[in-house]
Amino acid sequence: MKRRTFLKTTSVSGLACALPPFFPFPTNDEYTTEELMGKAKVELFGEGINLRKAAHDSFLEMKKAAYSAGFDIKIVSSFRDFYRQEGIWERKYLSYTEDERLSPLKAIDKIIEYSTIPGTSRHHWGTDIDIIDGYPKASGDVLVPGKFENGGPYEGLKLWLDENSEKFGFYLVYTNDPRRRGFKYEPWHYSYAPISIPMLTAYRRLNVMKLLLQEEFLGIEHFTAGFVRTYVQDHILDINPKLL
Ligand SMILES: [Zn+2]
């Protein structure tokens, strides 16, 4: 049985306007709340690519250029809807609380080192990708920072992306800046800025706490308004400043 009994505080409504809005593009009205939370059916392009049209087209251009430089960009993960993220969240929550016997709050802290709360993932937008180089042999988990540096199998691709990805509109989201809070360094996660910047602008207008109150996934009864406020500031907004 799932229960949701939130701790009530007075500042829930302050979430949506915690930071001043910035409008790099003229309109953001085209994105619905359902779409921003991964609950809408959006049109995605490319088998195994699954991105919005412009992001898909630019990804193919980048892939072609990388190919000429000797790299085979492979997408490990792109679009994930709310329900997929909910499955990931609940699997981790159960594993940390039952197998590792962590307290609910410790389990949640551990999940959000790398995984998002359902409804808050950039992977819901059809603009973000996790990528590796398909050529080198690699064993075990591919999405670990060490594989992208210091002689790791994807070091060459990472150096190429550092030089070239922004020409195609793809920006690293969770950079290696030691002052950055929120998600840890993810050298594999890129975002197509021309679409994801206006989507983030639209997302910032949502009242995330109020929206999460309507959900029932495991562990959500431990979310407080303060926790969600900090999560939004650190995990959603403390990213590569070029994507704000
Ligand atoms: Zn990712």
C-alpha span between 16 and 21 (Å, rounded): 10
Q: Distance, CA 11 to ligand 1 centroid (Å)?
A: 30
225 three-state secondary structure = helix
pLDDT of residue 5: 41
Ligand 1 centre and the CA of 86: distance in Å? 15
Residue 189, strand partner residues: 130
pLDDT at 145: 95
Centroid of ligand 1 to alpha carbon of 121 (angstroms): 9
Question: Average pLDDT, stretch 111-118?
Answer: 93
pLDDT for position 114: 85
> How many other C-beta atoms can be found within 10 angstroms of the C-beta atom of residue 167?
11
Q: Which CATH class is domain 48-241?
A: alpha beta
Q: Are 74 and 134 in contact (CB under 8 A)?
A: yes
| 10 CA → ligand 1 middle, Å | 33
Q: Which residues surround ligand 1, an ion (CB under 5 A)?
A: 130, 189
Q: Where are the domains of the chain?
A: 48-241
pLDDT reported for residue 84: 97
Ligand 1 mean position to 114 CA, how many Å?
A: 9
CA dihedral 39, 30, 25, 243 (to 10 degrees): 0
Tell me which of 17-21, 39-43, 222-226 is least confident: 17-21
* Residue 168 CA, ligand 1 centroid: distance in Å: 18
127 CA → ligand 1 middle, Å: 10
For residue 9, the CA-to-ligand 1 centroid distance in Å is 32
60 neighbors 187 (Cβ within 8 angstroms): no
- Reply yes or no on whether the pLDDT at 12 is more than 90: no
Question: Which of these, 208, 174, 206, lies nearest to 191 by C-alpha position?
Answer: 174
Query: If you measure from the C-alpha of residue 119 to the centroid of ligand 1, how many angstroms do you get, rounded to a whole number?
Result: 14
From ligand 1's centre to the CA of 98, what distance in Å?
26
Residue 197 has pLDDT above 50, yes or no: yes
Q: How confident is the model at residue 23 (pLDDT cuts 50, 70, 90)?
A: very low
The tokens of 150 are what?
Answer: 């210091």
Could you count the other beta carbons within 10 Å of the beta carbon of residue 114? 13
Mean pLDDT of 193-202: 97
Between 19 and 230, the more confident residue is: 230
Average pLDDT, the chain: 90
48 CA distance to ligand 1 centroid (A)? 15
More confidently predicted of 212 and 11: 212
pLDDT band at 29; cut points 50, 70, 90: low
Are the C-beta atoms of 234 and 16 separated by less than 8 Å? Answer: no
Taking the centre of ligand 1 as the mean of its atom positions, its distance from the CA of residue 7, in whole angstroms, is: 30
Statement: residue 22 has pLDDT above 50: no
pLDDT tens track for 200-214: 999 999 999 999 999
Task: Tell me which of 22-31, 80-89, 124-133, 139-148 is least confident.
Answer: 22-31
The mean pLDDT of 207-232, rounded to a whole number, is 95
* Number of H-type helices and E-type strands within the chain: 8, 4
pLDDT in tens, 65-103: 999 999 999 999 999 999 999 999 999 999 999 999 999
CA of 97 to the centre of ligand 1 (A): 24
